Amino acid sequence: MTTRATVIGVGHYLPERVVENAEFEKTLETSDAWIKSRSGIERRHFAHEDETTSMLATKAAKAALKDAGLEADDLDAIVVATSTADLTFPSAATMVQDQLGMTRGFAFDVQAVCAGFVFALSNANALILSGQANRVMVIGAETFSRIMDWEDRGTCVLFGDGAGALILEAQEGDGTNADRGILSTDLNSDGRHRDILYVDGGVSQRTTGFLRMQGKEVFRHAVEKLAATAKTAMGKINLSAEDVDWIVPHQANIRIINGTAKKLGLPLDRVVVTVQDHGNTSAASIPLALSVGKDRGQIKQGDLIVTEAIGGGLAWGAVVLRW
C-alpha cells in the first residue's frame, strides 16, 4: 500500500468586478485587439478596494469544503500560495484559518509567485506523505491588481485577481499510476534570472513597489522550462503524452500555453484554458483552472492531470496527479 495525497474537494472565487480589455483603451495606448492577439486575455476580475487576498482565499476555501462535505476543523493544515498577502505578517493562511473558524492544526504561506500553487501542492504532498497531516487545504489566492503600475501597458493589462482551493487527503493506493492522488512532482528555481520579473519594492526597503517584467525574456524561458519540467515530472513515473487527459497550465499567455502543449505533443483539446476570462492570476491560476475545468465537465474523477507553472525567481515546476 502507498499513501497518496488525493483531491477530495475543489472550489474557487472570483471578485465581482469584471474588466474587459476595452476599458484599458480609455487610459492607455493599447487595444482589445493587441491584448487578445498577444496574450489571449479578453477580461479579468479585480477585487473591490475593501477586498483582500485572504477574503478571496476564504471564499474559495469555503467552496472547497462544501464540495468535500467537510467542516474547517476536519482539516489539519492550510497552505496558501500568494505573493500578495493582506499584511507583511501574519500569513494569509492564518487569516483564512481564522475566517473559516478553524481552531486546530496549522497554517502558513508559500511564496513562489506564479509557480506558487505548484510549490504549495508539492509541500502539502510532502506533509501528507511524511504523516504530518492527513487533510491539507491548498489555496492559491492573489490580488495582483494592487501591485500594477497602471501606466505600464506592458504589464497592467495582463493580470487579474482571484482564488482557488483544493483539499488533499491521505488515501491508500496500490503504488501504481492508476492510483488517484499526486503521483509525481518537480520543482526548480534559478535566482540568476530574478531581474526579468520582480516587484521593485518590499518590506526591507519600506515600500510596496510595482510589478516589473521583461515580457519577451520571460516568454522565452517559459515555453522551454514548462515543457521540460512537465516532461521531467512525467518521466519520473514513466508517463508519456498519450497517458495524459488534461494539461492544466499556469494561465499567463495563450501563446505560452499552446507552445508548451505542442512541445509536449498534446493537442489543444486536452488543455484547460481560462486565461481569456481570468488573465494571469499568478498563484491562483491553476486552482482556478482546476475548479472551472471541473465545473465545465472537462475534468472528471480518474483523469490524469499535469499542472505546470513558471514565475518570478525564476521559479517553475510541475505536478502530476490523478483526479
Asked whether position 145 contacts ligand UT7 by CB under 6 A, the answer is no
Is residue 156 part of the annotated active site? The answer reads no
Of the pair 137, 163, the CB lying nearest ligand UT7 is at 163
CA distance 300 to 297: 7
Distance of CA 231 to the CA centre of its chain: 19
Yes or no: say if 249 and 307 are a contact pair by the CB < 8 Å rule. yes
**Coil, strand or helix at 127:** helix
Report the residue closest to ligand UT7, judged by CB: 215
Asked whether position 25 contacts ligand UT7 by CB under 6 A, the answer is no
Asked whether position 233 contacts ligand UT7 by CB under 6 A, the answer is no
Asked whether position 15 contacts ligand UT7 by CB under 6 A, the answer is no
* CA proximity to 156, closest of 29, 1, 308: 29
Of the pair 36, 62, the CB lying nearest ligand UT7 is at 36
Stretch that binds ligand UT7, among 90-98, 122-130, 135-143, 149-157 (CB under 6 A): 149-157
CA distance 306 to 319: 6
Is residue 250 part of the annotated active site? The answer reads yes
Q: What character string, x for contact with ligand UT7 (CB under 6 A) and - otherwise, covers 112-131?
A: --x-----------------
Terminal-to-terminal C-alpha distance of the chain: 19
Determine which one of 21, 45, 114, 193 is catalytic: 114
Stretch that binds ligand UT7, among 65-73, 132-140, 203-211, 213-221 (CB under 6 A): 213-221
Counting every residue written for the chain, the total comes to 323
Closest contact distance (angstroms) between CB of 159 and ligand UT7 is: 8
Cβ-proximal residues to 263 (8 Å cutoff; 6+ apart), any chain: 223, 224, 227
CA distance 314 to 298: 30
The cell numbers describing 299, all together, are 475534468
Of the pair 226, 299, the CB lying nearest ligand UT7 is at 226
- Helices then strands, counting H and E runs in the chain, come out as 8, 13
Determine which one of 21, 125, 253, 280 is catalytic: 280
**Residues acting as catalytic residues:** 114, 250, 280
Residues that bind ligand UT7 (CB under 6 A): 30, 34-35, 38-39, 114, 153-154, 157, 215-216, 218-219, 222, 252-253, 256, 280, 310-311
